A and B are shown apart, each in its own frame.
Chain A
């Protein structure tokens, strides 16, 4: 499948981040259509029919999520945008906020109307200084035009949008940790239920959506749910923006339909493997998704296809590894990441990520013992499903998949106390 241009259609257009340019290219028509003639229920129904799913990683159907917000609640309701993009290998939301911040704002407006929210917070990771400036400018432009504030578009709806700047914690990308952080606290995930739809920000009904997910909403309203659904697969509507990194010729973002295979993404869109080398492995959905071997890439990038082969579509962060990659070394890096980012709340994750790291450190230092490989797998399996939030699973899944699929490399490291692959590569280069 060719690339599609939906959210990315204005990328590369001069000043695409400015309100007049966005509007000249059809922007802010969807919200006008919504406010001037659609009921909130009709908006939710349209998003349900589009089969739009959460593109931050969980893949939860967006329309369904919105429908869980109680309609009769007298409490304030909130839309919270997850712009805490932190899953290693993922950078698409940064492109959206830099290039088309008004597209995101329009999505926020529609979501707010659909659930009856009059306040929205964009939870933006602190390191994204330039995206913050773009969003601040876009929000100011929208207020100045009357597109945000007391009576948006003159159509009788009130909406305020604020940016909340995060401070460097991977865990805050998890929606309940994000809500804690929005409330000014350390980002410790909450037990669910209650789900944010009923008890979210400040104890009130809340919808938390990813930047990209919300950015598709105006396009769905404008062009119709059937159009969007038909681009995708049976249960994953439309398209998504993949972030491609690692050993490809053209790392970057690629907006593709959900039926596009990883092979097409890697070899056609991203230009294939650097220096004509062979593909060894791919992490398809950010660093927490189980790794795939080279022969497994004829798989659609949609949620169900990747789940059916034991991995996950996650955040769409496609990390490509060529034949020179030491899989022990790659996993060692990933294990260090989760050990650093575990928030410390749940014992299996706090202790498990530490154990995994220490075993990997030991093998890396040439002091591995034969049972280490089985122990890595066993510790990871014991973490799975035993924590409040998915970080424990996110740390366990790479370990299990790397060990299962590349076991010989791990055993070789333990046996020889060094990396024969890197040795070979070094000799070949010198």
Chain B
């Protein structure tokens, strides 16, 4: 096996297994862990997770491709997710996305050439009081206007 978790992550794997009556239940949790460890989930990582959880590789592939949070390609150092659902849409999400695309010189779904920022659109993030809003790595940011977006981008190295 050409990929493997570090020992600290392997301890985490054992802790996750203890939460459930069977190993299969850990598949989504291990994919999260793998994405944290490796940045994205490539074919080798898929097979590794399948081996750890004792399920067929196709099962992991099916799960991986069903859920929106898993990345199958390398991403930038920061990930901006612009909410496009109804509350944000009513408050100007389209302008937010257009401004970000112009400012970063990329389209949603792409990463800046310097590897600094990946830009995506997502459905409702559960923060409609901040509309229009976006998630920057772990944090919710909003309400957004061009000045606020500039300030947020400034801090991303």
**Chain A: residues with CB nearer than 8 A to chain B?**
76, 85-91, 93-94, 121, 125-130, 162, 164-170, 181-187, 202, 243-247, 251-253, 283, 287, 317, 319, 321, 325, 329-330, 333-334, 337, 340-341, 343
Query: Do A243 and B66 touch across chains, with their CB atoms under 8 A apart?
Result: no
CB-based contact B86/A86 at 8 Å? no
A184 touches which of B27, B87, B91, B140 (Cβ 8 Å)? B27
Residues of B within 8 Å of A287, CB to CB, are 85-86, 124
Q: Please judge, given known A-B contacts A91-B126, A168-B67, A317-B128, whether A183 and B25 are in contact too, CB under 8 Å.
A: yes
Q: Shortest CB–CB separation between residue A332 and chain B, in angstroms?
A: 9
Interface core residue of B19, B66, B70 (most chain A CB under 10 Å): B66
Given A126-B32, A129-B138, A167-B70; 7 other pairs, CB 8 A cutoff: A89-B124, A168-B67, A169-B68, A184-B25, A184-B27, A245-B87, A329-B89
Q: Chain A residues near B20 (CB, 8 Å)?
A: 184, 202
Report the Cα distance A55→B84, complex, angstroms: 25
User: Given the complex of chains A and B, what is the CA–CA distance between A167 and B63 in angstroms?
Assistant: 10
CA distance A162 to B15 in the complex (A): 11
The reply to whether A170 and B25 form a contact with Cβ atoms under 8 Å apart is no
Q: Which residues of B contact A89 (CB under 8 A)?
A: 86-87, 124, 128
- Residue B141 at the chain A interface, CB threshold 8 Å: no
Nearest opposing residue in chain A for B69, CB measure: A168
**Could you tell me which B residues sit within 8 Å of A by CB distance?**
19-22, 24-29, 31-32, 53, 55, 59, 62-63, 66-70, 81, 84-87, 89-91, 122-129, 131, 135, 138-140
Which residues of chain B are near A243, meaning CB under 8 Å? Answer: 128-129
CB–CB B87/A186 < 8 A: no
Residue of A nearest to B131 (CB): A245
Q: Are B123 and A340 in contact (CB under 8 A)?
A: yes
Choose from B22, B28, B89, B127 the contact partner of A94 (Cβ within 8 Å): B127
Decide if A253 touches B135 in the complex (CB within 8 Å): no
Question: B28 to chain A: which residues have CB within 8 Å?
Answer: 164-167, 181, 184
Among B25, B68, B128, contact of A202 (Cβ-Cβ < 8 Å): B25
Q: For A76, A165, A343, which residue has the most chain B Cβ atoms within 10 angstroms?
A: A165
The 5 A-B residue pairs with the shortest CB-CB distance, nearest first, are A168-B68, A167-B67, A245-B128, A186-B66, A168-B69
B122 lies within 8 A of A91 (CB): no
The one of A168, A283, A319, A330 in contact with B122, judged by C-beta atoms closer than 8 angstroms, is A168
Partner of A333, one of B32, B69, B86, B140: B86
- On chain B, the residues within 8 Å of A319 by CB distance are 86-87, 90, 128
Q: How far is the CA of A244 from the CA of B91 in the complex (A)?
A: 13
Identity of the chain A residue whose Cβ is nearest the Cβ of B30 in the assembled complex: A184
CB–CB A330/B25 < 8 A? no
A397 to chain B, nearest CB (A): 14
Determine which residue in A76, A127, A251 has the highest number of CB atoms from chain B within 10 A of its CB, and name it: A127
**Contact residues in A for B122 (Cβ distance below 8 Å):** 127, 168
Q: Are A165 and B32 in contact (CB under 8 A)?
A: yes
User: Which B residues touch A168, using CB under 8 A?
Assistant: 67-70, 122
With a CB–CB cut-off of 8 A, which chain B residues contact A94? 126-127
Docked pose: A244 CA to B130 CA in angstroms:
11
Which one of A85, A183, A185 contacts B126 once the chains associate, using CB atoms below 8 Å? A85
Residues of B within 8 A of A87 (CB): 124
Cβ of A320 to closest chain B Cβ, rounded Å: 8
Q: Nearest residue in A to B91 (C-beta to C-beta)? A: A246
A-B contact list, 10 entries, CB within 8 Å: A88-B123, A91-B128, A94-B126, A125-B126, A167-B31, A168-B67, A246-B87, A247-B90, A337-B86, A340-B123
Cross-chain contact A169 with B24 (CB below 8 angstroms):
no
Residue among B70, B135, B140 with most chain A CB within 10 A: B140
B23 to chain A, nearest CB (A): 8
- Shortest CB distance B81–A (Å): 8
- Contact residues in A for B29 (Cβ distance below 8 Å): 164-165, 184
In the bound complex, CA of A288 to CA of B63 (Å) = 26
A165: B residues at CB distance < 8 A: 28-29, 32
User: A331–B80 Cα gap in the complex (Å)?
Assistant: 26
Contact, CB under 8 Å: A184 / B24: yes
A245 to B93, CA, bound (A): 14
**Complex formed: what's the CA distance from A252 to B127 in Å?**
9
How far is B91's CA from A321's CA once the two chains are assembled, in angstroms? 10
- Contact (Cβ within 8 A) B63 A86: no
The answer on a CB contact under 8 Å between A86 and B126 is: yes
CA gap between A128 and B124 in the complex, in Å? 12
Contacts of A252 in B (CB 8 A): 129
B63–A184 touching, CB < 8 Å: yes
What distance in Å separates the Cβ of A296 from its nearest Cβ neighbour in chain B?
A: 19
B43 to chain A, nearest CB (A): 18
- For B22, list chain A residues within 8 Å (CB): 183, 202
